[in-house]
């Protein structure tokens, strides 16, 4: 979906709850929402509700974007070696879902992917090789998808994690050298990595998709834009000024808001979407 900018929200059936999708989405659409992102993890709660929700969102005129599974038991480790066919079998059913939507509409063609991660003492080079081999396979097997390799959350203790530094994401993109593979800039992850430094022009020119969220005082991310820590205004403006296009998705963890009243959640979501819209549209 490079070209136009669409503001999105990371959707899970729980958000729609008993009220249904239309009631949940209406105030967000008024605030500027035109895209929903779905994590294609077939092991997560409520997975059977995901595809009907995608269909309902599309019928309402929304674009769709997708996030490849990355949580255990899903993993890319070993793709460049003996795990290749096993991982292909694991990912094929969900990647087919994204490809089918991408064939239907260019507003549904972006798939976000994280680089392979493993516990120490894994080899960083081997994880990069696994990631590149996986990306090459997806590019070939699913020709309608626009891939977006995400800058990862900084490594936690004991993790070997390529793709945290933006230059490492750029070098993986360069290794495959196709416009069908760009970057997903996760602003919260980038803030955790390096606070508020300005991105390079090179990076901005490769960004085809963005995840926006805020970070609390303990470093927990995926909150609505309530703390003012992540400099999303400055960063989104820089991206837009350089001709950036694609989805800009408010990516939240609902679990963090479990103890909030429904009214407070609704207000935080609407305000976050409106702020993104003020900067971009
Ligand atoms: Zn993200």
Quote the CA–CA distance of 83 and 85 in Å, as a whole number. 6
How many A from CA of 251 to the centre of ligand 1? 6
How many A from CA of 195 to the centre of ligand 1? 16
Q: Is the pLDDT of residue 53 over 90?
A: yes
How many A from CA of 26 to the centre of ligand 1? 24
**pLDDT at res. 1:** 42
**pLDDT at res. 139:** 98
How many A from CA of 211 to the centre of ligand 1? 5
How many A from CA of 170 to the centre of ligand 1? 17
Q: What percent of the chain has pLDDT over 90?
A: 96
How many A from CA of 140 to the centre of ligand 1? 24
Q: What is the pLDDT of residues 205-240, one digit of tens each?
A: 999 999 999 999 999 999 999 999 999 999 999 999
3-class DSSP state of 225: coil
Average pLDDT over residues 116-144: 98
* Residue list, CB under 5 A from ion ligand 1: 186, 211, 251
**pLDDT at res. 281:** 87
Quote the CA–CA distance of 264 and 178 in Å, as a whole number. 43
Architecture of domain 5-280: Alpha-Beta Barrel (3.20)
Q: What angle is formed at CA 83 by the lines to CA 79 and CA 84, rounded to 5 degrees?
A: 55
**pLDDT at res. 2:** 46
How many A from CA of 180 to the centre of ligand 1? 19
Nearest to 226 by CA among 271, 181, 281, 171: 271
How many A from CA of 252 to the centre of ligand 1? 9
Residues 198, 238 contacting (CB under 8 angstroms)? yes
How many A from CA of 190 to the centre of ligand 1? 10
Quote the CA–CA distance of 88 and 75 in Å, as a whole number. 11
How many A from CA of 188 to the centre of ligand 1? 8
How many A from CA of 200 to the centre of ligand 1? 20
Contacts of 157 (CB under 8 A, 6+ apart): none
* Integer CA distances (angstroms), 36 to 9, 85, 100, 269, in order: 5, 31, 16, 13
**pLDDT at res. 3:** 61
Q: Is the pLDDT of residue 57 over 50?
A: yes
List the beta strands (DSSP E) in 26-180: 33-39, 63-67, 110-114, 118-119, 146-150, 159-160
How many A from CA of 11 to the centre of ligand 1? 13
């Amino acid at each position: 979906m490079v070209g136009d900018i669409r503001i999105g929200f990371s959707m899970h059936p729980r958000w729609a709850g008993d009220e249904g999708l239309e009631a949940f989405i209406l105030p967000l659409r008024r605030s500027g929402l035109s895209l929903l992102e779905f994590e294609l993890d077939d092991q997560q709660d409520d997975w059977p509700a995901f595809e009907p929700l995608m269909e309902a969102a599309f019928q309402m005129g929304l674009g769709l974007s997708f996030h490849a599974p990355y949580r255990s038991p899903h993993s890319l480790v070993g793709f460049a070696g003996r795990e290749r066919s096993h991982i292909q079998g694991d990912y094929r059913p969900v990647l087919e879902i994204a490809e089918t939507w991408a064939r239907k509409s260019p507003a549904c063609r972006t798939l976000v992917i994280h680089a392979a991660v493993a516990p120490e003492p894994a080899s960083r080079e081997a994880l990069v090789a696994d990631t590149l081999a996986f990306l090459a396979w997806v590019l070939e097997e699913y020709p309608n998808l626009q891939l977006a390799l995400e800058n990862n959350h900084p490594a936690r203790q004991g993790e070997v994690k390529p793709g945290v530094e933006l230059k490492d994401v750029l070098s993986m993109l360069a290794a495959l050298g196709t416009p069908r593979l760009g970057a997903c800039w996760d602003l919260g992850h980038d803030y955790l990595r390096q606070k508020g430094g300005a991105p390079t022009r090179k990076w901005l020119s490769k960004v085809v998709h963005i995840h926006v969220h805020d970070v609390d005082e303990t470093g927990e991310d995926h909150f609505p834009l309530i703390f003012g820590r992540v400099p999303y205004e400055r960063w989104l403006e820089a991206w837009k000024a350089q001709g950036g296009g694609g989805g800009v998705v408010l990516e939240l963890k609902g679990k963090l808001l479990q103890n909030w009243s429904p009214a407070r959640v609704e207000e935080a979501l609407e305000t976050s979407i409106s702020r993104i819209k003020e900067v971009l549209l």
